[in-house]
Structure 1
């Protein structure tokens, strides 16, 4: 009986774990007049999308400029224009509730899957098709289809990598044209055209000079 209870509890924990998330931007609802470190990132994301027009430095205070930017963004996206940056607003901004450890564990399930141009399933992936599939099936998050669109519209730029970040590279075309998921220790998992789904070192002689940047969801 004790063994059955322990097994049931463990199973419940495993089933729930994909829905648990770490403290990412968007986990805290941001409201006018509040002060929070995430407000700076919110301002940065809104500026990159053309909504935050204040010319000064980013601040942790959610003032009138930030509220106006949020309201205008919400109106443009068909959301309730209340000026409050909650989960639905962050989702539209391309910032999601992600359990990064589970994301990486799920991504590794497809190691060895062959590369197929335009592939979006475990029978064969291209690089963005792989990222799309992993996010959709591990977290029900639907990302843009192409690398260029993900680089432009998903997440926010960071200067250093953390597990679960998206890393981008310039390969066959100018700008971001290849991508993968950072898994720690300078490595990322991706669908390579000559390797299929595999783990690569960001600092090797091929990838290091082609690195474009990192975005966090």
Structure 2
């Protein structure tokens, strides 16, 4: 890849990552946790029929839509920056961005465990390693280059002891340099499309992968 092409790839990555960070900061149907319970409790206090159980289900979506309609906001049932501030009286938590994006990435990634390995594959009928990474991130609206060595050039370099869930991890397999890419899950584990088992979860420090690890990049 020439220098001009690399600059273009990094520019597209930056633009797409920024746009996804904004979207992933929203709360919507399917989300769970204490933050959702706090939102539900606030809606309940305002008179909307919703139980603060921490599960953003259809009832919460209906309550959010009703709140948005009364406040003159877009009634889409999604709690983005404007709705959150109107409802909670403060800015949406900044830490929400990467954690939500990671959860959605893993939901997509785990859906395809066991999908067979296909060299050059980029679809659920068969993936190679970088094709899987590209597909999973692309499903969340995040552009990724096609090959592992190109993916190794995006985002920011991160050291092994500072790995976070959602980071890209790279290994040297059939050739020198980064030739295999995966998505770090935390607790020393990552998910990738392997040539032997298809999409699978492995440990970075396992006998096979540990000696082949070459680095990581952070794009979330």
What TM-score bracket applies, with the shorter chain setting the length?
0.5 to 0.7
Distance (Å, rounded) in 1 between the aligned partners of 2:146 and 2:80: 23
Q: Aligned residue for 2:182?
A: 180
Q: Aligned residue for 1:143?
A: 144
Distance (Å, rounded) in 1 between the aligned partners of 2:116 and 2:93: 30
Distance (Å, rounded) in 1 between the aligned partners of 2:183 and 2:144: 13
Residue 100 (structure 1) shift? 1.4
Change (3 A) 1:184 1:10: farther
Match of 1:7 among 23, 40, 58: 58
Q: Give the CA RMSD over aligned residues.
A: 3.4
Q: Which runs of 5+ in 1 are unaligned?
A: 28-95
Q: Aligned residue for 2:169?
A: 167
Residue 103 (structure 1) shift? 1.1
For 1:186-201, list aligned pairs within 5 A: 186-201=188-203
Distance (Å, rounded) in 2 between the aligned partners of 1:136 and 1:146: 14
Distance (Å, rounded) in 2 between the aligned partners of 1:128 and 1:18: 32
Residue 106 (structure 1) shift? 1.6
SS of residue in 1 equivalent to 2:108:
helix
Q: Aligned residue for 2:31?
A: none
Change (3 A) 1:200 1:105: same
Change (3 A) 1:98 1:216: farther
Q: Which runs of 5+ in 2 are unaligned?
A: 1-47, 66-76, 82-91
Q: Is the 8 A contact 2:148 2:181 kept in 1?
A: yes
Change (3 A) 1:174 1:134: same
For residues 147-195 of structure 1, the C-alpha deviation after alignment (integer angstroms, 9 at most, x for no partner) is: 011102x111011210000000000011000010000110000000011
Q: Aligned residue for 1:134?
A: 136
Q: Is the 8 A contact 1:156 1:215 kept in 2?
A: yes
State the TM-score, normalized to the length of structure 1.
0.58
Q: Aligned residue for 1:203?
A: 205
Q: Aligned residue for 2:157?
A: 157
SS of residue in 2 equivalent to 1:101:
helix
